[in-house]
Amino acid sequence: MAYIQPKPLSEYPWPVRWVLKRQIRVYGEVLPPAFLWGRRPGLFFGLLAMLGVFSRPRFPIPAEMRALASIRIAQLNGCHFCVDLNAHLYLEAKGQADKAKQVAEWASTQDVFNEKEKAVLRYAEAMTENCASIDASSIEALRTHFSDDEITALTAWVAFQNMSAKFNTALGAEPHGFCEIPQ
């Protein structure tokens, strides 16, 4: 249950109401974090703008790779809404439910995740659990699979997902019910 309850829709500023009403049309209801972010319109639209940049087709990290990292980040942060949403996004991008369900055990699975996916998951875990542990060798390991520009993009994505997951977890944003996978 959210720790801060939504305001009546009419109490949100009109630009926020427009986004919330669009979510109702697309998802059948307002997504729980939108009610929370919508309380601070500047932050809400900044978040949406960043998400728009990350979602562009030319963003160097593919959607399915971002979704896998996001599932793991959400699991580590305890964001059930984020696990739900990102598993759904992974299934949309890749259609492999079994892989999405095994993200929490990625390091011990065999023949499920390729080396590039493992590198992304390892980096996402390190940034989430102990960012100070990342050193030159961590970045060098990513260079096997990514250019420096791609590593920068991946780092931005992981940081963005951590911010979002921590916000949602701290305020108790509930899952929408997109997809059920282990938390």
pLDDT digits (tens, 9 = 90+) for 113-158: 999 999 999 999 999 999 999 999 999 999 999 999 999 999 999 9
Q: Judge whether residue 182 has pLDDT over 70.
A: no
Using H for helix, E for strand and C for coil, what is the string for 74-143? HHHHCCHHHHHHHHHHHHHHHCCHHHHHCHHHHHHCCCCCCHHHHHHHHHHHHHHHHHHHCCHHHHHHHH
CA 73-120-85 angle, 5° bins: 40
Burial of 139 by CB count in 10 Å (0-12 exposed, 13-18 middle, 19+ buried)? middle
What pLDDT does residue 134 have?
96
Q: Judge whether residue 70 has pLDDT over 70.
A: yes
Q: Judge whether residue 14 has pLDDT over 60.
A: yes
Tens of pLDDT, residue by residue over 19-63, are: 999 999 998 999 999 999 999 999 999 999 999 999 999 999 998
More confident residue, 32 or 85: 32
Tens of pLDDT, residue by residue over 2-12, are: 899 999 999 99
161 phi/psi in degrees, rounded to 5: -65, -35
What pLDDT does residue 149 have?
97
What pLDDT does residue 181 have?
59
